[in-house]
Structure 1
Amino acid sequence: MTRLLAFLGATIGGYAGWAAGVPFGVFTAFVVSILLAAVGGYYGRKIGKHYGG
């Protein structure tokens, strides 16, 4: 459960980062996507540990 939520968080964060950064260019979208994917994975894992044990 923890790994699944970490994966989902990273996927959602990466997509959101790409969508937020693409108006400023592809490289900006790439960097913001990587950062938000890491944040999403972190919080996804944190939520998974809280609810999954």
Structure 2
Amino acid sequence: MTGPATMPRPPRRIELVRRLIALGTLACAAAAGLVELVALQRSRHQLRRGRQQHTAHH
């Protein structure tokens, strides 16, 4: 006899959806971090290349 005070165990489907949402969130966070890392590396490379060209002209 389960009354309104006790919480019934959520079905497996809800648990699956929660895990998929968590996995999707982690995947998006990882992808965003990777994009930021690539952008940072690219800007550093361009800055370094610009310095090399600048010193080559002098």
- Taking structure 1 as the reference length, what is the TM-score of the superposition? 0.48
Q: Which has the higher helix share?
A: 1
Greater relative contact order, per chain length (Cα 8 Å cut-off, separation 6+): 1
Greater C-alpha Rg:
2
- Taking structure 2 as the reference length, what is the TM-score of the superposition? 0.45
